[in-house]
Amino acid sequence: MVESPCVIGVDLGGTNVRLGLVHAGRIMARAEQAVRVERSPAAMVDFLARVITPWRSTTPAPQAIGIGAPGIVDPQRGVILKSPHYPEWVGFDMQAQLDAATGLPVILENDANAIALGEATDGAGQGFANFIMLTLGTGIGGGLILNRDLFRGDVGFAAEVGHMVLDYAGPACPCGGHGCWELYASASAFPQLIDQSDHPLRRQFLDHFHGESGRVTPADVYRLATDGDLFANALWKTFGRFLGTGIASLTNVFGVDHFVIGGGMATAWDFFVPEAHRALARHTYPETAARIQLHRARLGDDAGILGAAALVARRLQ
Amino acid sequence: MVESPCVIGVDLGGTNVRLGLVHAGRIMARAEQAVRVERSPAAMVDFLARVITPWRSTTPAPQAIGIGAPGIVDPQRGVILKSPHYPEWVGFDMQAQLDAATGLPVILENDANAIALGEATDGAGQGFANFIMLTLGTGIGGGLILNRDLFRGDVGFAAEVGHMVLDYAGPACPCGGHGCWELYASASAFPQLIDQSDHPLRRQFLDHFHGESGRVTPADVYRLATDGDLFANALWKTFGRFLGTGIASLTNVFGVDHFVIGGGMATAWDFFVPEAHRALARHTYPETAARIQLHRARLGDDAGILGAAALVARRLQ
């Protein structure tokens, strides 16, 4: 076992840019900035370089920079092709620019893939040859760790597991498809889960939100469920059922037993996981259902930084 | 490039046992026997050894035996755990027994996996780092070639892609699940596709079969479609739509562009493939749909023999 190198991990999130100096899976120093003021590629490179330059004189000194970026990333060329949070970033050659600004080698990867690698290296995926990382956010982000490494397919991008079909005749998805998994088991699913429910307490629940399901956030549903609201509890069960159905599908396709589940909605773990297991049992052979293990992601809010760090540390070892 | 060794490939099919002496992707000699008389493990080993022994004096001489077996196979221990066609075969240590009877090393694999390797080595999958093999038979058999090698997941068995969920609220499947893909796009799907159609010519079509959809085979539907029957044609289109929907799902999950499609139903290729492409477009990003290529399997009836041979030849090289 080679000792893990000291590296820098950068998490280009939708709200904040966060970066950390990482050694042996621990964050030794960190910095954060709201993204609003850092829209242009030049301003972002400048911000990162200003934080990173003083870190270069620490002991041990960082040897490289890993970046997890949302959107469509070309990891081979180190270019952000398109990013949902930064409309200006089209064909942004971040790798070359940050390398020039800091003198450190830079590796760029899709953020969901970086998080999967982070959980593989320092989190809930440690020791598993194969696992599927699911990040439950606005959609369902995915990362495939197969044979102990990231599998990117032919496109080189992240797995679009959120767009697996769960109902061929289902509603239209913004991706252009129909009945995609993330329409049923992500943050954006709640308004529809509420509207389609025939639960007797639905109307009473909606009174908290002026009768508008579109105002309900997963955080609201979690808070109400912990307060004992029965409809909120039923919503998490429905969410869990759809989550488990999709996991059953993935299990049948991959023959992979381990799933690591993170993202904002993992907070409600105890409310949805039992129902997810019931759905797994409903959609797989009994032997298969007995093998499946759902693991809660362990890197939490630091997953982006640690994932980006794990990404680059692997290349150095 | 190492020259490919001479090997023996064995295809333990549901109707016949077929084996061939294979060199450089070509079958130099072959033998076949109906399975009915060869039910016991001992009788099967005896039959294979009687064919193989004289082949050992050919030039070049075979160096090893590869076997593709239906059912649940443990490739590491060389044991057939359970087989649908041979109820007596429970925990049959075929690898050890055939090795002892012939003096040649034996490798055992699930038949769908062997066929995927065969197409990778000598068929339609040549040159692709990643592809998904789909065998359209009674169900949908699957084999995953990822990074130029078979991916078996944690279980070590074949991919159960036929049990990917296409409709979470769909009908029950013999696997215990609901709405599995193979209920919509395999030989066993036709009675249901017929029963659920509201096509005006449905009744007229069923007159050929005494009004019973359960009597209709894919071969019948193919024959009638080639004869210009409009309802038979519409059935293949529906079949293609469900096939393409499942392929869209797999594409979103794996990011893999190439699919090799074989099995009995591939005969009707021209009747279902255009509709499969339309379904792909309906369920994926336009950029993704444009990348997907559906390739017709090339090894045909010899896929089982050539796949088993490819399996063992790979190990020798």
DSSP A44-75: HHHHHHHHHHHHTTSSSPP--EEEEESSEEET
Hey, is the C-beta of B176 within 8 angstroms of any chain A C-beta? yes
pLDDT band at B2 (very low <50, low <70, confident <90, very high): low
How much of chain B exceeds pLDDT 90, in percent? 77
Hey, is the C-beta of B75 within 8 angstroms of any chain A C-beta? no
- Are A160 and B253 in contact (CB < 8 Å)? yes
Residue of A nearest to B242 (CA): A168
The predicted-structure confidence for B250-293, as pLDDT tens digits, reads as follows 999 999 999 999 999 999 999 999 999 999 999 888 888 899 99
Give kind and range of the element (H or E) at residue B98: helix B94-102
Q: Has the ipTM of the complex gone over 0.85?
A: yes
- Are B161 and A286 in contact (CB < 8 Å)? no
Which tokens is B196 given? Answer: 């659920």
- Are A169 and B167 in contact (CB < 8 Å)? yes
Query: Hey, of B76, B192, B252, which one would you mutate to test binding to chain A, going by the most A CBs within 10 A of its CB?
Result: B252
Closest CA to B94 of B131, B46, B135, B134: B46
Distance from CA of A43 to the nearest CA of B (A): 31
Hey, is the C-beta of B146 within 8 angstroms of any chain A C-beta? yes
- Are B165 and A283 in contact (CB < 8 Å)? yes
- Are B146 and A146 in contact (CB < 8 Å)? yes
Q: Which chain A residues touch B156 with a CB distance below 8 Å?
A: 255
pLDDT band at B39 (very low <50, low <70, confident <90, very high): confident
- Are A165 and B285 in contact (CB < 8 Å)? no
Facing A255 at nearest CB: one of B153, B162, B250? B153
Hey, is the C-beta of A163 within 8 angstroms of any chain B C-beta? yes
Higher pLDDT, A83 or B165: B165
Hey, is the C-beta of B290 within 8 angstroms of any chain A C-beta? no
Hey, is the C-beta of B182 within 8 angstroms of any chain A C-beta? no
What average pLDDT score do residues B64-68 get? 97
The predicted-structure confidence for B85-139, as pLDDT tens digits, reads as follows 788 889 999 999 999 999 999 999 998 999 999 999 999 999 999 999 999 988 9
Q: Which letter, b or e, does each residue of B96-111 get, where b requires 16 or more Cβ atoms within 10 Å of its Cβ?
A: ebbbebbebbbbbbbb
Hey, is the C-beta of B239 within 8 angstroms of any chain A C-beta? no
Facing B249 at nearest CB: one of A165, A175, A184? A165
Task: Give the pLDDT of residue A37.
Answer: 57
Interface of B with A in 101-120 (CB under 8 A): none
pLDDT band at B25 (very low <50, low <70, confident <90, very high): confident
- Are B253 and A166 in contact (CB < 8 Å)? no
Higher pLDDT, A226 or B289: A226
- Are A246 and B157 in contact (CB < 8 Å)? no
Residue A142: is its pLDDT beyond 80?
Answer: yes
Facing B167 at nearest CB: one of A129, A161, A167? A167
Angle between helices B111-122 and B303-316 (to 10 degrees): 80
Task: Give the pLDDT of residue B231.
Answer: 97
Residue B38: is its pLDDT beyond 90?
Answer: no
> For B112, what's the count of Cα atoms within 13 Å in the CB-facing half-sphere?
29
Angle between helices A303-316 and A111-122 (to 10 degrees): 80
The predicted-structure confidence for A15-71, as pLDDT tens digits, reads as follows 789 999 999 889 999 999 887 656 789 999 999 999 999 999 999 999 999 999 988
Quote the CA–CA distance of B307 and B150 in Å, as a whole number.
12
Distance from CA of B30 to the nearest CA of A (A): 34
Is B206:B212 a contact under the CB 8 Å cutoff?
yes
Q: Which letter, b or e, does each residue of B67-95 get, where b requires 16 or more Cβ atoms within 10 Å of its Cβ?
A: bbbbbbbbbeebbbeebebbeebeebbbb
Hey, is the C-beta of B253 within 8 angstroms of any chain A C-beta? yes
Closest CA to A305 of A51, A97, A117: A117
Task: Give the pLDDT of residue B1.
Answer: 44
Residue of A nearest to B152 (CA): A255
Residue B37: is its pLDDT beyond 60?
Answer: no
Q: Which residue has the tokens 């059935």?
A: B235
Query: Hey, of B82, B253, B258, B291, which one would you mutate to test binding to chain A, going by the most A CBs within 10 A of its CB?
Result: B253
Is A52:A89 a contact under the CB 8 Å cutoff?
no
Hey, is the C-beta of B249 within 8 angstroms of any chain A C-beta? yes
Q: Which residue has the tokens 């023999």?
A: B305
Hey, is the C-beta of A239 within 8 angstroms of any chain B C-beta? no
Hey, is the C-beta of A217 within 8 angstroms of any chain B C-beta? no
Hey, is the C-beta of A284 within 8 angstroms of any chain B C-beta? yes
Task: Give the pLDDT of residue B35.
Answer: 76
Distance from CA of B248 to the nearest CA of A (A): 8
Closest CA to A77 of A93, A61, A100, A90: A93
The predicted-structure confidence for A176-206, as pLDDT tens digits, reads as follows 889 999 999 999 999 999 999 999 999 999 9
Hey, is the C-beta of B163 within 8 angstroms of any chain A C-beta? yes
Please give the C-alpha separations between residue B109 and each of A132, A245, A285, B245, B261, in angstroms, as whole numbers: 25, 29, 21, 29, 20
Give kind and range of the element (H or E) at residue B2: none
Closest CA to B113 of B83, B90, B133: B133
Task: Give the pLDDT of residue A248.
Answer: 95
- Are A258 and B178 in contact (CB < 8 Å)? no
Facing B248 at nearest CB: one of A154, A177, A284? A177
- Are B284 and A129 in contact (CB < 8 Å)? no
The mean pLDDT of chain B is: 92
The predicted-structure confidence for A155-175, as pLDDT tens digits, reads as follows 777 678 999 999 999 999 988
What are the strands of the beta sheet with A16-23, ordered from one edge?
A26-34, A16-23, A7-12, A65-69, A106-110
Which tokens is B54 given? Answer: 């004289």
Task: Give the pLDDT of residue B84.
Answer: 74
